[in-house]
């Protein structure tokens, strides 16, 4: 899960199952492993159909494309690297994946824009950039989350993340040096 990304990765479930995503050879691009995606989408199975999703720091877009494949009503992809964003647009067009929109933008800058509330958010920033806390804060305070949103967070295994108190850990696991966790946002009282 380190180093350069492979040339293709497989979608593991839903209507696009076994389709391949072309992955550009970019430094630091780290696609979420198949077994982690399988576990995550097993956790999300009761809520993913019809969900509006945000794939922040999308990279390959594997998480968002899995969501589309499994019936999400739409996915907003945000990726700052123009080559990765174009590869994602090309993959969505080739797969005829409905409901995917790609913004070529820095995630922090994107979250300064006009908010849209999402029911599922994938938060998997580049590990070297340590963006979890500022991105989580903007998501929580900026109107980007529905009252009971689900937030997936992928991070280094031993990172001490500071996440909003309203985010309650639902499930977590690890694969190698990666920790993956699904949080549920508690509705404000």
Query: Would residue 90 count as lying in a domain?
Result: yes
Query: Would residue 86 count as lying in a domain?
Result: yes
Range of the domain at 155: 8-185
Instruction: Sheet containing 167-175: give its strands across.
Output: 100-104, 74-79, 52-56, 118-123, 145-156, 178-185, 167-175
Instruction: Return the H-helix or E-strand segment holding 109.
Output: helix 107-110
pLDDT at residue number 5:
45
Mean pLDDT of 68-82: 96
Mean pLDDT of 52-75: 96
pLDDT at residue number 50:
97
Query: Would residue 15 count as lying in a domain?
Result: yes
Handedness of CA 131, 132, 134, 139 (dihedral sign): positive
pTM: 0.92
Q: Which residues of 1-73 form beta strands (DSSP E)?
A: 8-10, 20-22, 52-56
Q: Are 35 and 90 within 8 A, CB to CB? A: no
pLDDT, tens digit, for every residue of 126-184?
888 889 999 999 999 999 999 999 999 999 998 889 999 999 999 999 999 999 999 99
Query: Would residue 24 count as lying in a domain?
Result: yes
- Per DSSP bridges, beta strands 145-156 and 178-185 are antiparallel
Overall domain count for the chain: 1
Query: Would residue 46 count as lying in a domain?
Result: yes
Q: Provide the CATH number for the domain around residue 136.
A: 3.40.50.150
Query: Would residue 2 count as lying in a domain?
Result: no
Phi, then psi, of 56 in degrees rounded to 5: -85, 135
pLDDT at residue number 136:
97
pLDDT at residue number 188:
55
Query: Would residue 43 count as lying in a domain?
Result: yes
Q: What angle is formed at CA 98 by the lines to CA 95 and CA 100, rounded to 5 degrees?
A: 95
Residue 91: which of 34, 38, 37, 20 has the closest Cα? 20
């Amino acid at each position: 899960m380190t180093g350069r990304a492979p040339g293709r990765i497989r979608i593991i479930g839903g209507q696009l199952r076994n389709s391949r995503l072309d992955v550009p050879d970019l430094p630091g691009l780290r696609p979420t492993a198949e077994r982690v995606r399988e576990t995550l989408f097993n956790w999300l199975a009761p809520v993913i159909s019809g969900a509006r999703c945000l794939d922040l720091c999308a990279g390959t877009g594997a998480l968002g494309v899995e969501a589309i494949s499994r019936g999400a009503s739409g996915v907003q992809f945000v990726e700052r690297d123009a080559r990765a964003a174009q590869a994602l647009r090309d993959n969505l067009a080739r797969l005829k994946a409905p409901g995917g929109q790609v913004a070529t933008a820095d995630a922090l800058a994107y979250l300064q824009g006009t908010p849209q509330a999402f029911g599922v958010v994938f938060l998997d920033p580049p590990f070297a950039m340590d963006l979890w806390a500022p991105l989580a804060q903007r998501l929580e305070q900026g109107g980007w989350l529905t009252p009971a949103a689900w937030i997936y967070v992928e991070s280094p295994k031993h990172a001490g993340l500071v996440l909003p108190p309203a985010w309650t850990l639902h499930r977590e696991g690890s694969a190698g040096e990666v920790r993956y966790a699904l949080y549920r946002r508690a509705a404000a009282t």
